[in-house]
Chain A
Amino acid sequence: MATETLPDHKALRYARRERALAAMEAHDLDLLVLGRVANIRYVSGVPVLWNAGTRPFGPGAVLVRATGEVHLMSTWDEGVPEEIPHDHLYGITWNPMNYVAVLERIGADVRPHRVGTDATSPLFAQLLPMAFPGAAIVDGGPALRDAKRVKTNEEVDAIRGALAVAEAGLAAAVAELRPGVSERELAGVFMDAMATRGVTTPATQDVVRITTVDADRGARGDGRVHAGDLVAFDAGVVADGYAGEVGRTWPVEPPRAGASVRELYDRWERLWDRLLDACRPGAAGSGLLEAYEAAGEPLPRGPIGRGLGLGFDDPVIVGDLPDTAAKERLDPGVVVVLTGSVTDDRGTVVAHEAVLITPDGPEVLSGSPFWNRERGGATT
C-alpha cells in the first residue's frame, strides 16, 4: 500500500483486460456486466472500498468487447486509470432505473446480441432485458473463469506480496500464543500486525481456533488457550486486491502429560507430501481428493483447495463437488491454497499453504515455520 490510492499497474490492467476480452470472444459475449468486486477490479484496475461478506448484485462495471472500453460505477475518479475517461464513470444511485438508463446508453452504441453477467438478482433479471432489448442475457461466469484461472506473472507477484503480509501477521499472532490468551486477543494481534504493514483488509476473519477436543471447553466457553491445546491459525489478507492465505497449527507449550500430538503432525506431513505430489502441472483437481484417500485421512468438511487471485478465486476443490474437481486442471499459472487437515480424538492439525503450479511442478509460496519442523523434535 502507498500514500495515495492509485490504479493497479498498467501491465496488470492491460494483461487482465486482454484475457477478459479474449474470453468474451471465445464465449461470444458482446458485453460483460459485472457485479462482483473482484471481477470489477479485474477489468477496471480500480481499488474500491472493502466490505466483508456478500453484496447484492448491481452493475459495477461494463466491459465492451468491440472497443475494449470499460464503463465503471464510481462517483469519483480517485484510483481510476487514464483509459477510463470521466464520461465512462457513472455514480452510485438508489434508483435502479438510473442504472437501466446508463446500460441503455452503452447498449445503444454496441447493439449487443449476447450480454454476460457474473451474477444477477430478481430485480436485475427484470431490468437487464429492458436495458438490452433483444439481447440474450446469459451467465458470464464460464468466460470469466477462463480469463482469470491462470495468473499472469504480475498477478503472481501481487499474490506473493499479500502472502508476505499474511505471514508477518501469522508470526506476530503465534508469538503471543501462551496459556491464558484468548482466540479473539490473538485475532486482534493478527489484525494489528497486518494493518501496521499497511494492509487493512483481512481475507479471512476466523483467524484463531482452539482445535483441541476437550470435554470442558463447552462449559468454559471463553475461548482461552490452555497448556497443551492445539491452536489453528488461518491468516489471510487482501493486499492491492489480491488474496494471500497461510495457516498453521501450533500446540501450546508445555505439552499435556501423556498426550503427545507428535503423531498427528507426522500424519499431517504424510498427507502433505501426497497433496503436493498431486499438484503436477496439468493434473486433475480430483488428485487432491485422492491424496486424502491415499493417506487414509478423511476429507474435511470444507474445500481443500481454493484458488487465489483478486480475492478468492477458482478452482474450488471440495469433496462435495467430485465432478467439478475431476474437470478442473491444475495448469501452470494456477495458484491454489491447499488445506491439509488431520484429526483424531485429541484435536485437529490443519495448515494452509499457497502453491503456484509451474511447468516444472508445484512451488510452495509460503515459508512460515511449522511447529513440528522447527521445534517439534526437541520438545516431544
Chain B
Amino acid sequence: MTAAPTDVSSLLGIPERPDPARMQRERWARLRAAMADKGIDALVLLSNSNVTYATGASWPLGDAGRGNVERPVAVVLADDDMPHLFTPFVADVATRLDLDADHLHGPTYLDVDEGVAAFAAALADLLPATATMAIDDVTGAMHGARETFFGEWPPRSASDVMGPARLIKSPDELAYLRHGLWITEQAMADVQARLAPGARQTDLTATFLHRAFELGAEANVLDPIWQVMPDRQADLPWTTHGDLACPLLSTERELERGDVLWVDTGISFSGFHSDFGRTWVVGDEPTDRQKAQHQGWRDINDAVVSVLRAGVSAADLTAAARHASGVDRPWMSHFYLGHGLGLDSAEAPYVGTDLGDGYDLRLVLEAGTVVVIEPVVWDEGHSGYRSENVFVVTDDGCVNLTDYPYDPYGD
C-alpha cells in the first residue's frame, strides 16, 4: 500500500499498515461466537464477499457468469480455529493467507451436478451428517440436489451470522477500506481534470479505470455512472414509482457544456469496495441556482451528520434529513438515504428504504459501522444535486473517510 492521508487515522485508531493475520483472527472469533449463539455448527459460504470475510482471500472479480462457475467457497466450522477454503486460486492465496495447508482445497464447481456431488463428499469429510449447517446462496444444481445435499429444506440462512459479524469494522478493515477510497478519489481527480465538452461518458470510464488499476485497484466492481441529469424529470425515463430514474447506464454519448453530471462508482481493494459520488458541471461554473441546490444538499448532509453517532436509530437520520430539506424522502426512493460499505458496494445497514419507518426505528447504529450518506436535492425545472460521503460511526459522533472536494460547487 502506498501512502494514504493519515489525518483521521488517529481518531479511529486505524493502523498505518493493516495486519491481515490480526484482522482474520478477530473475524474468526466473531464468527465462532455468533455461530455458538445461533446453534450453527457449520457455515457454507458461496457469496464472494462472505468468502472474503471468512478467509481473507480476495481476487479480481470477473463477470458474474464466470464468477458463478469459478467461485471460491468457504466452510467455517464452529469447533475449528480457521476456515476451509475451496478455491481455483490456490497458488495465489497459499502464500498470502494464514491458512494451514489442510484447510486449502482445490476448486469446487457448484453450478454443475458433478461438482455438487464432489463438494458434498468433501463436506462429509469435514463435518458429521448431524451437524447444523447454514448457507448463504444456493445454486441451481444444489437446488436440484437438495434432498441429498441439505439435511433440511429450506436450509438455514448464514445471514443471521454473517450480517451482524460484518456490520462492525475493525481498525484493520477500515485501513483497507480507506485505501480503496483513496485509490478511487485519486483516479476521479484525474477524470475531473480532463472533464470537457466533447468527451464521451465511456472516455471518462477509460481514464478512471486506467488510473485506478495503476494505483492498485484489485478490480472494478461497478460500471461507472456519469449520468447527465436533465432540467426536468419528464426528460428522464418513466419509472414505476414516479421518482427519478437513476442510475442509468453510460454510453458513448458526448458531454455538452453545462451538462449536470451525477457521478457514482466504486472499485475493490483487498476485497473492500469503495464508493464515490459527486455532482459535476461539464466545462462550466455552476449557476447561482445550482450553487443553492448544493447548499441545500449540504444542509441535509450536515443535519444527518450532526445526529450520526453510536446509539441513534436509522429513523433519527431520516428525520434529520426530512427536517433539513422539508421533503419527505430527500433521497432516491428506490434506494435509501444511507447504506453500509465494506466487502460489498452496498451492504447493511440500510437507512431509509421501503422497509419503512418501523424498520428504521428498530435499526440502532453501533460504533464501527460504516455508513454512506447520499441525499438528493431535486429542483424540478433546474436539475439537481447529489453527492455521497463515507462515514464511520463512533461513540461520540462520526468521522468522514471521504476526502474529495465538491468542486466546481466550492467547498
Q: Are A37 and B64 in contact (CB under 8 A)?
A: yes
* Interface: A17 (CB within 8 A): no
> Among the listed stretches A43-51, A246-254, A263-271, which one makes contact with chain B, having 4 or more residues with CB under 8 Å of it?
A43-51
A1 to B251, CA, bound (A): 6
Q: Are A3 and B240 in contact (CB under 8 A)?
A: no
- B35 to chain A: closest CB distance in Å? 15
Residues of A82-124 whose CB lies within 8 A of B: 86, 89-95, 98, 117-123
* Interface: B257 (CB within 8 A): no
Using CB atoms, name the residue of chain B closest to A57: B137
Q: Are A238 and B137 in contact (CB under 8 A)?
A: no
A243 to B106, CA, bound (A): 26
Residues of A30-88 whose CB lies within 8 A of B: 36-38, 47, 49-57, 74-79, 86
With A56-B47, A312-B65, A316-B69 as given contacts, are A49 and B223 in contact (CB-CB < 8 Å)? yes
A238 to B71, CA, bound (A): 19
A58 to B375, CA, bound (A): 26
Q: Which bracket fits the contact residues of A?
A: 35 or more
> Among the listed stretches A152-160, A193-201, A363-371, which one makes contact with chain B, having 4 or more residues with CB under 8 Å of it?
A193-201
Q: Are B140 and A140 in contact (CB under 8 A)?
A: yes
* Interface: A202 (CB within 8 A): yes
A218 to B71, CA, bound (A): 25
Instruction: List chain A residues, Cβ under 8 A from B130.
Output: none
> Among the listed stretches B201-209, B274-282, B301-309, B319-327, which one makes contact with chain A, having 4 or more residues with CB under 8 Å of it?
B201-209
A165 to B61, CA, bound (A): 20
With A94-B354, A191-B209, A198-B252 as given contacts, are A122 and B138 in contact (CB-CB < 8 Å)? yes
Using CB atoms, name the residue of chain A closest to B218: A205
For B194-228 the 0/1 string (1 means CB < 8 A from A) is 00000010110111011111101111111111000
Q: Are B63 and A312 in contact (CB under 8 A)?
A: yes
* Interface: B164 (CB within 8 A): no
* Interface: A311 (CB within 8 A): yes
Q: Total interface residues on B, using CB and 8 Å?
A: 94
Instruction: List chain A residues, Cβ under 8 A from B63.
Output: 50, 52, 201-204, 236, 238, 243, 311-312
Using CB atoms, name the residue of chain A closest to B221: A52
- B143 to chain A: closest CB distance in Å? 5
Residues of A165-205 whose CB lies within 8 A of B: 184-185, 187-189, 191-196, 198-205
> Among the listed stretches B12-20, B241-249, B387-395, which one makes contact with chain A, having 4 or more residues with CB under 8 Å of it?
B241-249
Task: Determine which of B67, B159, B217, B356 lies in contact with A53 in the assembled complex, contact meaning CB atoms within 8 Å.
Answer: B67
Q: Are B141 and A141 in contact (CB under 8 A)?
A: yes
* Interface: B46 (CB within 8 A): yes
Q: Are A50 and B222 in contact (CB under 8 A)?
A: yes
* Interface: A138 (CB within 8 A): yes
A91 to B219, CA, bound (A): 29
- A141 to chain B: closest CB distance in Å? 3
> Among the listed stretches B109-117, B170-178, B283-291, which one makes contact with chain A, having 4 or more residues with CB under 8 Å of it?
B109-117
* Interface: B66 (CB within 8 A): yes
- B45 to chain A: closest CB distance in Å? 11
Task: Determine which of B60, B135, B155, B245 lies in contact with A75 in the assembled complex, contact meaning CB atoms within 8 Å.
Answer: B245
Q: Are A54 and B64 in contact (CB under 8 A)?
A: yes
A11 to B214, CA, bound (A): 41
* Interface: A303 (CB within 8 A): yes
- A326 to chain B: closest CB distance in Å? 10
- A316 to chain B: closest CB distance in Å? 6
Using CB atoms, name the residue of chain B closest to A116: B140
Task: Determine which of B60, B112, B249, B354 lies in contact with A95 in the assembled complex, contact meaning CB atoms within 8 Å.
Answer: B354
Q: Are A52 and B71 in contact (CB under 8 A)?
A: no
Q: Are A91 and B144 in contact (CB under 8 A)?
A: no
Closest 6 CB pairs of A and B: A311-B65, A141-B140, A125-B154, A139-B144, A195-B206, A188-B213
Beyond the given pairs A119-B137, A196-B203, A243-B65, 17 more chain A to chain B contacts, judged by CB atoms under 8 angstroms and listed by A's residue number, are A3-B251, A50-B222, A51-B221, A51-B345, A75-B239, A75-B241, A75-B245, A76-B248, A78-B248, A94-B336, A120-B138, A121-B136, A122-B156, A125-B155, A188-B213, A199-B202, A205-B60
| 15 cross-chain CB contacts under 8 A | A5-B248, A51-B222, A52-B222, A52-B268, A56-B47, A56-B136, A75-B334, A76-B248, A93-B354, A122-B157, A196-B202, A199-B202, A200-B224, A203-B62, A205-B220
